[in-house]
């Protein structure tokens, strides 16, 4: 099988510098959804017809399994398919998809391709409001005879509610000859792919139609309004799949996956959470409201409180993170770790049962198990030029408002007094302090207000 994806159109109505087919839907370019669906069918050739925004489209999407056909200028859908002809292989079926119809399902395409055995198969749908689309014209016997574009149609044809979605499949061996016979003698002076339907009828080839299970599978994106509508459709679909697998959601309408979200049993997701890249939530994880997670794995039973922000990080099981915690790239937390409000962690490993509950910055550090990091602790990891590491061994206690000037090590079981500025290693099982001595002056009085 060959698959051709038409993606040369301009998309004027997007009012954007980004080519239409590269606009993101659920975190992925519109046309990438189509490419990924096409790959599910394992085609011999997967050819993209590109034109508008050509360089950007090609460099963004380039992959070894894609063939590229430049269409310049764009003279219509038939002309677009013509550009792909040199790439087509074998005498099987060719399937034509649109780069701006992102939510088409593999199952629907399989049915269409099946219908195209020694026939031309068109994916059609009946719409309450068919305006703008090409209409499927059938004869008295109910057989498809041709497709007429809205701009070329008469009043009677405009009443037809069955429309051409644009997605078609046909025997590859016939395609070249049909396309060679196209003319642009029509209202838009374009070479219409749809005219091959009439030709197939003349050649005595049966025309079959298939329909998508859901109307939204064949909706195209021409404007930012339609883009936002399809975004909600895509998110709703993802939410339903997850709920079917046992995820509980406070509100599937306030939920966004921009990548892949994998969940274990009994996961709970509160409102307004965003999941980007690949995120894995193990069994019974609870995600509070307004959390943002990107490329992260959260261990079983861990609770993320509201407004937690996690990127490129691993969180162990039974943890308590947030509210207002920020785990930055390279964070790896063991089991039962507690990270509280306004704590920022970067490129740091923290062992089991350790806690940093309030207001801290921990960067470039290795922290052992059962360590308590007091409020206001800062690892001074950066001297303005280079970054250095802080090591805190098991069972250490870091007093509040401590600065650890890296590179520095706090030994096993050590205690740092509050307010310590640690510039040399702290020995194990010892109290280390760095404070000016506390004095109380007798006879001191508060200054008096100066009278003018
Ligand atoms: C086309 C169909 C119409 C169908 C409708 C469904 C034709 C003549 N008409 O109409 O029957 O109901 O789609 O949405 O086929 N493209 C190119 N090169 C071109 C022109 C278009 O690559 O020269 C691509 C576009 O990027 C887009 C697709 O083909 O992905 C459809 O183009 P569009 O202009 O939207 O087609 P319509 O006129 O709406
Ligand atoms: Ca269109």
At residue 54, the pLDDT reads 81
**Mutational test site, ligand 1, from 5, 9, 102, 230, max ligand atoms within 8 Å of CB:** 9
Q: Are residues 187 and 262 in the same domain?
A: no
- For residues 212 and 252, membership in a common domain is answered with no
Q: Determine the distance separating the centroid of ligand 2 and the alpha carbon of 197, expressed in angstroms.
A: 19
pLDDT at position 293: 99
State the DSSP code for 23. Answer: S
Distance between CA 408 and CA 398 in Å, rounded? 13
Same domain? For 184 and 240 the reply is no
Question: What's the CATH number where 428 sits?
Answer: 2.160.10.10
Q: Are residues 280 and 169 in the same domain?
A: no
Q: Both 293 and 207 in a single domain?
A: no
pTM of the predicted protein model: 0.93
How far apart (Å, rounded) are the C-alpha atoms in residues 3 and 84? 10
Residue 49 confidence (pLDDT) above 90: yes
CB 154 within 8 A of CB 146: no
Q: Is residue 339 in some structural domain? A: yes
pLDDT of 55 strictly over 90? no
pLDDT score recorded for residue 436: 87
Lookup result for tokens 């966004």: 256
User: How would residue 123 be classed by pLDDT, with cut points 50, 70 and 90?
Assistant: very high
Residue 437 lies in a domain: no
239 shares a domain with 125:
no
CA of 309 to the centre of ligand 1 (A): 42
The predicted-structure confidence for 125-172, as pLDDT tens digits, reads as follows 999 999 999 999 999 999 999 999 999 999 999 999 999 999 999 999
Percent of the chain with pLDDT over 70: 100
Q: Give the pLDDT confidence of 328-365 residue by residue, as tens digits.
A: 999 999 999 999 999 999 999 999 999 999 999 999 99
Ligand number, closest to the Cα atom of 164: 1
235 within domain boundaries: yes
pLDDT 10s digits, 251-308: 999 999 999 999 999 999 999 999 999 999 999 999 999 999 999 999 999 999 999 9
**97 and 125 share one domain:** yes
Structural domain boundaries, residue 91: 2-218
- Asked about 309 being catalytic, the answer comes back as no
* CATH code where residue 75 lies: 3.90.550.10
Helix (H) or strand (E) holding 82: helix 77-84
Q: Please give the pLDDT value at position 52.
A: 82
Report residues whose beta carbon is within 6 angstroms of any ligand 1 atom.
Answer: 6-9, 49, 71, 74-77, 79-80, 98-100, 133-134, 147, 149, 163-166, 192-194, 220
In this predicted structure, the answer to whether residue 9 has a pLDDT above a threshold of 90 is no
Q: How far apart are CA 279 and CA 299, in angstroms?
A: 11
Q: Are 12 and 32 in contact (CB under 8 A)?
A: no
pLDDT of residue 333: 99
Do residues 207 and 286 share a domain?
A: no
Provide the pairing of β-strand 24-25 with 67-70: unpaired
How long, in residues, is the chain? 452
Q: Has residue 323 got a pLDDT over 90?
A: yes
Confidence category of residue 238, pLDDT binned at 50, 70, 90: very high
């Amino acid at each position: 099988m060959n698959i051709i994806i038409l993606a040369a159109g301009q998309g004027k109505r997007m009012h954007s510098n980004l080519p239409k087919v590269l606009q993101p839907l659920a975190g992925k370019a519109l046309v990438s959804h189509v490419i990924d669906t096409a790959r599910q069918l394992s085609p011999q050739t997967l050819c993209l017809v590109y034109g508008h925004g050509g360089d950007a489209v090609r460099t963004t999407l380039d992959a070894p399994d894609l063939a590229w056909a430049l269409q310049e200028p764009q003279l219509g859908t038939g002309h677009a398919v013509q550009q792909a002809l040199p790439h087509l292989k074998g005498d099987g079926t060719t399937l034509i998809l649109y780069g701006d119809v992102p939510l088409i399902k593999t199952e629907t395409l399989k049915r269409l391709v099946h219908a195209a055995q020694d026939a031309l198969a068109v994916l059609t749908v009946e719409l309450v409001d068919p305006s703008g689309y090409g209409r499927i014209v059938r004869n008295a016997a109910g057989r498809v005879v041709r497709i007429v574009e809205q701009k070329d149609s008469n009043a009677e044809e405009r009443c037809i509610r069955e429309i051409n979605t644009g997605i078609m499949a046909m025997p590859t061996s016939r395609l070249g000859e049909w396309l060679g016979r196209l003319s642009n003698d029509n209202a838009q002076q374009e070479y219409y792919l749809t005219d091959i339907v009439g030709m197939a009828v003349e050649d005595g080839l049966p025309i079959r139609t298939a329909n998508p299970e859901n109307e939204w599978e064949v909706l195209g994106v021409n404007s930012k309004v339609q883009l936002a509508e399809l975004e909600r459709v895509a998110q709703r679909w993802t939410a339903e799949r997850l709920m079917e697998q046992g995820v509980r959601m406070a509100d599937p309408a306030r939920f966004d996956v921009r990548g892949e979200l994998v969940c274990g049993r009994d996961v709970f997701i509160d409102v307004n959470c965003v999941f980007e890249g690949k995120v894995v939530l193990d069994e019974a994880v609870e995600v509070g409201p307004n959390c943002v997670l990107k490329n992260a794995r959260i261990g079983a039973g861990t609770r993320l409180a509201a407004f937690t922000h996690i990127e490129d990080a691993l969180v162990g099981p039974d943890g308590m993170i947030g509210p207002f915690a920020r785990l930055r790239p390279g964070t790896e937390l063991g089991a039962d770790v507690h990270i509280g409000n306004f704590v920022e962690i970067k490129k740091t490993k923290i062992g089991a049962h350790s806690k940093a509950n309030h207001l801290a910055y921990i960067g470039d550090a290795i922290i052992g198990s059962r360590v308590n990091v007091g409020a206001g602790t800062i690892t001074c990891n950066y001297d303005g030029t280079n970054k250095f590491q802080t090591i805190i061994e098991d069972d250490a206690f870091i007093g509040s408002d401590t600065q650890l000037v890296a590179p520095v090590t706090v030994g096993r079981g050590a205690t740092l007094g509050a307010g310590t500025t640690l510039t040399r290693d702290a020995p194990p099982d010892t109290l280390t302090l760095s404070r000016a001595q506390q004095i109380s002056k007798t006879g001191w009085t508060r200054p008096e207000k100066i009278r003018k």
